[in-house]
Amino acid sequence: MPTTKKGQKEIRVVLEEGSELHATLLEWGRKRGLTPGKATRCILADWSDALNGKPNPFAVALAATAGISMAANPSTQEPNMSPEEKARQEALLQAAEQFM
């Protein structure tokens, strides 16, 4: 039985058995030799790094998925986006699609 150490919080993740998310998590973890719990922690750590601006290709792709809805609705984007920023957004979306 896992124990939490001082400074840690326990958060439970419940997935429907056989769901696409469950199957994807199992497959992703199996390819890397990780249990579902460790795979979940790895993905959450990568996602957190991306949200906090730490470079990590996998995490950047996950965080970029938040920008997909903005790309689908151009009225919410900044109208004066530089060409470099537009190219960056496109690259992030393409990277995110690899993980979807």
User: Is residue 14 situated within a structural domain?
Assistant: no
From residue 47, how far is each of 5, 19, 59, 78, 80 by CA, in Å? 22, 21, 5, 24, 28
Measure the CA–CA gap between 30 and 34, rounded to whole angstroms: 6
4 in a structural domain: no
Is 15 within a domain? no
Instruction: Tell me which residue of 70, 67, 48, 68 sits closest to 59, measured CA to CA.
Output: 48
Express each pLDDT in 61-81 by its tens digit.
655 555 554 455 444 444 566
| Domain range for 77 | 20-99
Per-residue pLDDT band for 32 (boundaries 50, 70, 90) equals confident
% of the chain residues with pLDDT over 90:
14
Q: What pTM did the predictor assign?
A: 0.50
pLDDT in tens, 39-56: 888 888 877 877 787 776
pLDDT of 59 reads: 58
| Confidence bin at 19 (pLDDT 50/70/90) | very high
Which pLDDT does position 99 carry in this prediction? 58
Q: Tell whether 12 is covered by a domain.
A: no
Q: 14 with 25: CB under 8 angstroms?
A: no
65 assigned to some structural domain: yes
Please count the structural domains in the chain. 1
Give the chain's mean pLDDT.
75
